[in-house]
Amino acid sequence: MLTQETVEWPDQVDVLVERLESEATERALSREERALVDVYETVPILESEDCLHEFWQSEVNQQRVINSFDLIGAAALVDPLNASRWCGSCSPDRNDYSETEAEYLATIEEDLPAGLEELVELILAFIEGELE
């Protein structure tokens, strides 16, 4: 993936996610609360070296996570996630991709930095509109 700045969550987001993760052991989170936690927990995967490949090879509930990004209004991330869905049926080793697959995935991943860049503002607006 292209080099980018790491998403820096404001303290308000860190504290809220920690609280929700703690409360999740005692109660079911609302769809909005779950969306916030899903997005927060998925960003490090999307920032990793194998980003979209790693996302599709991970144990996360990929469809729920995509729906969570959609719920918060992050279409700039939903589109690359959906476009890379085929990675879920590929070899666990990204080095096994054909040249065409590797080039296509690299093209899709070029859209991620812009989507991640706007994520903090989207999350803050989502918290204000849906969780407060």
Using DSSP's 3-state secondary structure scheme, residue 50 falls into coil
pTM over the 0.85 mark:
yes
Going by pLDDT thresholds of 50, 70 and 90, the confidence category of residue 2 is: very low
The amino acid present at 56, given as its one-letter code, is W
- Please write the tens of the pLDDT for every residue from 51-97: 999 999 999 999 999 999 999 999 999 999 999 999 999 888 989 99
User: Which tokens hold the place of 106?
Assistant: 């690299």
* Euclidean distance between CA atoms 105 and 96, whole angstroms: 13
The amino acid present at 76, given as its one-letter code, is A
Buried b (16+ CB within 10 A) or exposed e, 102-112: eebbeebbeeb
* Euclidean distance between CA atoms 124 and 104, whole angstroms: 32
Mean of pLDDT values over 115-124: 95
Q: Round the average pLDDT of the chain to a whole number and report it.
A: 93
Residue 20 vs residues 11, 38, 57, 62, 93: alpha-carbon distances, Å: 14, 11, 26, 20, 34
* Euclidean distance between CA atoms 120 and 58, whole angstroms: 23
Chain CA centroid to CA 68, Å: 8
**Which phi and psi (to 5°) does residue 4 adopt?**
-150, 170
